[in-house]
Amino acid sequence: MQSNKYAIFVLVSGLLLGSVALADDLLAEKPTTTKSGVAVTLPKGWKTDDRGGSRNLLLARAPASDKDNTGEFQTLFSLDVASITKLDGRAQQAAVAKKCDNYQATEEPTAVTIGGVEGVMFGGTFTTGSVKLRSRQYLLLQDGRVYILTFTALDSAWPNYAKAIEACAASLTLSVQ
């Protein structure tokens, strides 16, 4: 019985170490620091884009566009900030659904903790013209500000990016205010 417990421990440890190594292979060598002291490590090969709005701290794109029978899209990551005092994942997802054509939830709001900061994550699909896209948002609340990480890709290409998206989100650190 003791050897079975040891074998399970070794197996689980190997899986955990393997997932850490996999995350390291998915991400760039060093973090990208945004203009407000927020740091995140982008997936390998992704480039920052200087375009963006007043709430936008960081905008980055995958190295190339993906294509399918609905169209073409270059996978996108944005990091935005807004003032807010309370997170309500269901209300946030409903607001996104109102803004996006044909929005369908694929991931219900789920509590997350990233870098010691609590928040919520949800996802869905929608269309822009004929192009079917999928997005996932992470909303993290710290000191009256919500940090919004949004990843958007062609729905058909999502599986190609899912692990890198999760690793990138997990790399986020917010400076203590």
Q: Does residue 46 sit within a domain? A: yes
Q: What DSSP line would sit under 79-124, residue for residue?
A: EEEEE-S---HHHHHHHHHHHSEEEEEEEEEEEEEETTEEEEEEEE
Q: Does residue 40 sit within a domain? A: yes
Q: Is the pLDDT of residue 6 over 50?
A: no
Domain count, the chain: 1
Q: Model's pTM, two decimal places?
A: 0.81
pLDDT digits (tens, 9 = 90+) for 95-141: 999 999 999 999 999 999 998 999 999 999 999 999 999 999 999 99
Q: What is the CATH number of the domain that holds 133?
A: 3.40.1000.10
Q: Is the pLDDT of residue 176 over 50?
A: yes
Structural domain range at position 82: 28-170
Q: Does residue 93 sit within a domain? A: yes
What is the C-alpha to C-alpha distance for residues 31 and 89, in angstroms, rounded to an integer?
A: 28
Q: How far apart are the first and last CA of the chain?
A: 50
Q: Does residue 8 sit within a domain? A: no
Q: Is the pLDDT of residue 52 over 70?
A: no
